[in-house]
Homo-oligomer: A and B are copies of this chain.
Amino acid sequence: MRKPRDGQDTRQRVLSSAMTLFAEQGFAGTSLADISKDCGISDGLILHHFQNKKNLYQAVLEQSADEYTKVFESVRESAGSPQAMMQEAMLAAFKFWKEDTSYQRLSLWSYLEGQSGLSEKEAQFTAGMAQMVEQLQTQGMINNQISPVVLMTMVIGPIHFWLRYREQFKETLQLPDALDELDEIFIRQLLQVISMISSKEG
């Protein structure tokens, strides 16, 4: 039996297992026994640390949201011109969603389950970006014919959709390239289009 008595470590190990399993199977589809089995920590102890299952789920979502926010904060800090920042933000978003597949799924589950958390945070993030776009428009730096929130929708919408369906597209359309190369093509063309839309003569 394990009895390392390091509560902080235990908490983290539970969170880690829970994040993986909740991402795979959702809240209703994941039992505490699943998590318990996965991380080798008894249900009783899990509840001792998180009170109840819903609380644990919330903790997982919050940790996920934190990671998500961190990514964009680092972009915001490192960026130069507004246009450069937006470009970098798009690339960072694509990279993040592509690599952290848990995040994508958690976000979808929590949306469907009506669990407040990730979805709200995302909407807020997108809305924040839209406000930045608006500023650029009033400063005359980009095309002001398009609604800022629609512009953001045309950036993030395709990214989500692509990451969700690309493998099936590759299969159905028998696309010859590797996934990474397809990703490369996709993001390049997306950025081109966005830059075209936002250019003043758009």
Q: How far is the CA of A124 from the CA of B28 in the complex (A)?
A: 29
A39 interface hit (Cβ, 8 Å): no
A175 at the interface (CB under 8 A from B): yes
Of B111, B162, B196, which is within 8 A of A157 by CB? B162
Among B108, B150, B189, the residue within 8 A (CB) of A146 is B189
Bound-state CA distance A109–B27 (Å) is: 12
In this complex, the interface size class of chain A, counting residues with CB under 8 Å from chain B, is 35 or more
From known contacts A112-B112, A158-B158, infer whether A120 and B168 are also in contact, taking CB-CB under 8 Å: yes
Shortest Cβ distance from residue A194 to the other chain B in the assembled complex, whole angstroms: 10
Asked whether any CB of chain B lies closer than 8 Å to the CB of A159, the reply is yes
Do A127 and B172 contact each other (CB < 8 Å), given the known contacts A147-B185, A147-B189, A190-B154? yes
Given contacts A29-B113, A189-B146, contact A158 B154 (CB under 8 A): yes
Q: Contact: B175 with A149, CB < 8 Å?
A: yes
How near does chain B come to A101, taking the closest CB pair, in angstroms?
A: 12
Q: Is B189 touching A150 in the complex (CB atoms < 8 A)?
A: yes
- Residue numbers of A with Cβ under 8 A of B are 25-29, 105, 108-109, 111-113, 119-120, 122-124, 126-127, 130-131, 146-147, 149-150, 153-154, 156-162, 164-165, 168-169, 172-173, 175, 185-186, 189-190, 193, 196-197, 202
6 contacts between A and B (CB under 8 A): A153-B158, A157-B158, A157-B159, A157-B162, A160-B160, A160-B161
